[in-house]
Structure 1
Amino acid sequence: MLSLPLSTRCVRPWAAATQKLPKVTKSTTSHMSSAGSETTRAAAATRDAPAKVGVYAGGKEMPFTSILRIEDPDKLPVWPVFRVLDDDGSVRADAVEPKLGKETALKMYGNMVRLEAMDDIFYNAQRQGRISFYLQSAGEEALQMGGAAALDMNDMAFTQYREPGLLMWRDFGVQSFADQCLSNISDLGKGRQMPVHYGSKELHYQTVSSPLGTQIPQAVGAGYALKLSGKDNIAVCYFGDGAASEGDFHAALALAATRDVPVLFVCRNNGYAISTSVADQYRGDGIVSRAPGYGMHAVRVDGNDALAMFAATAEARRVCLSQKKPVLMEAMTYRLGHHSTSDDWSRYRSSNEVKQWKANHHPIRRFYSYLEGKGWWDSAKDRVLRDRERRSVLIALETAERKAKPSLGSMFEDVYEVVPPHLQEQKHQLYAHLERNAGRYDGAGG
């Protein structure tokens, strides 16, 4: 695994990570003094000297050098990882503890436990044949809840499939999660999406898409619309390190930077794009190091540190709103489970690696220790919470299984205000087929 330096500094412009060049001003090269001939001659020499900077396309001043040097990326500074809590849950000595508040902190922890319980039960339900597919968030709960707590409920969210915690924070209930995974009549998507592809118009959470990276340019469009409308909100876009290798990533960041769009890009770097390690995905210093090329603010955060995620997200959101500019955040985390129920992680990583991360860097355990140290939580309360959340998830799953499926006619809804002729014809053909084959399809009602 890559070793990265830790830092307690939060969001900063990308230039802060590199060596700053002295700024050359007009007065530096052309100032003339009238005090004495020696000063005058020196000033004249300065005036007649070759320019120290050039102005090229785009109006950017660039310093000249007579030293030929091909830069070696391995010798450039490595972006530090912003962290507030150490692995034992204690606040780092040089860190500024964010003013989270007891109520917010306990809600974050409660949702992390709820997400863990939902993942465990839904995963096992899939193995039992009760759900067709599932994706867990194991090991990435702090990344989701820390960020969600720092966002405004009206910020438009574009996510991948491993950010249900953001939707959960916005009070999308466990029953709604179960209804979507079971594709029943209460599913907001009317059963037309595969499990874990959640969405809620009311909660400003765009429906998840299966193809990688599609949501990244969409988030830029939404952020630009928010900017033009003058609303005090941003677009926030979550994606994995694998999606950052897609062309949509580069097109979206270039557009966001050049048009000054208030959008927060959050790359969830958990080390693997399904079975592909980051060592085989890219060269260079991760994802955050790409920000300088786009002229974009950026920060790298410990994604397993709930306090760091809260502080960094809050500051990044402030930059997006105050400067109307994008921010790229790379959240360093680790996926403890399989990529999905269709994956087997033992084929591309060792059990010792997973055990080491689970034992030493578990985000829920770290945040529990922090709360316990503050006197806000204890083991007795924890047992009650965990028992309650598991029972509520089991009840939601059983309730969802008893609900009817959406009608076939709903397949033709919600795309066009007026159903066009070609869809009307398809609907007619479907029902004609069902009529000819009556009794062969269970529950194929209108």
Structure 2
Amino acid sequence: MRRLLSLAGAAAAAVAAGSAMAADAAPALNSGDTAWMLTSTVLVILMVIPGLALFYGGLVRSKNMLSVLAQVFVIFSLITVLWAVYGYSLAFAGEGNFFGGFDKAFLAGIKPDTLSTALATIPEFVFVSFQSTFAAITVALIVGAFAERIKFSAVLLFSVLWFTFSYIPMAHMVWGGGLLAKDGALDFAGGTVVHINAAVAGLVGSYMVGKRIGFGREALAPHSLTLTMVGASLLWVGWFGFNAGSAGAANGIAGLAFINTILATGAAAMGWIAAEALHKGKASMLGAASGAVAGLVCITPAAGLVGPMGSIIMGVIAGPLCLWGVSGLKRMLKADDTCDVFGVHGVGGILGAILTGVFCASSLGGVEPEGYNMVHQVWVQVKSVLMTLAWSGVVAAVSFAICKYTIGLRVSEEAEREGLDISTHGEVAYSR
């Protein structure tokens, strides 16, 4: 009898444990996760306005400073609205290979107590907000490639077209369960979706808009490396929301992404200025800031997947390689990429996406996916890079062509010489 009672007690305990596990598994709001994701969203906004705006603004001439600030600010405003209208639904609702569906267009069906289907411990409105900042910064990154000579109206029209037909499908393919996700591509926080995607569009734009007047003949030096340094610093701070926030919760993976964002960035900054000192004899502030951004870009796809030592190695490689991207490669491409969007975000993003497949190995301190094989994973990563290059390149070319043959791409020579601050916006960044 005692044995039967014991067995009955064990069974009851097992049922109770099973019920507790089921309760734990059921979606439930977690205030800590929600607070972290709200904070991360604010940090990513800090990356865009003012971070990216000041970083790019310092790199252009003073007569074009305000135009860059306006482009970044207005793009952020435009894309966040479009994200709510149809972008979120097409990226994260539905099961197509390239696009989702319109089930959540205009955020239909989402209420304050609706939990995210992607991140089950936070409200869906928080997830929508977080992802809207990713969409906005991706489009804003592009403008640095053709700053100082493009029409403001062309920037806006291009932004709508490229966002709709490049950013949304790439986000769905990688993060929304689409083609690349099904293939097993790893992209923790946006190596392909954000950086390579934007960099290719920027490179195409620099060709199609054309070179600045005097490019290669006149000095077109940055007007304020002080503001560029401030912008880079804000980017680094905001990037903790970008990378650690992509864990989707206040947990150990967020902590891993956080420390990797410190280490890879520092290593890349040191790698850049070391290579610069060896090549030019001096280490520059611009080099340190650019190296830091290169490290941030490189670690983005790997932030929650590689170990700290792997992140340092990735940063050490990214610094010198992106230095070559803004010098040797830029000369080879013969592109007037004003703020070196492709040299940093393209080269760094490609490097990071591919090395994610290497350093995510548990033997190297990473967090490898189930059934991981390094050779296979690297090949999957290479395919995702190639897909992004092709997709973004084609969409960008078509989008710029539409702008060119409808409203025109470039300001007049007179307006360019006067500066876009006055000729486009009727204002100046600095009093004269």
TM-score bucket of the superposed structures, by smaller chain: under 0.3
Q: Hey, which of these two has a bigger chunk of helix by percent?
A: 2
Greater percentage in strand = 1
Q: Output the TM-score relative to the length of structure 1.
A: 0.25
Bigger Rg, structure 1 or 2:
1
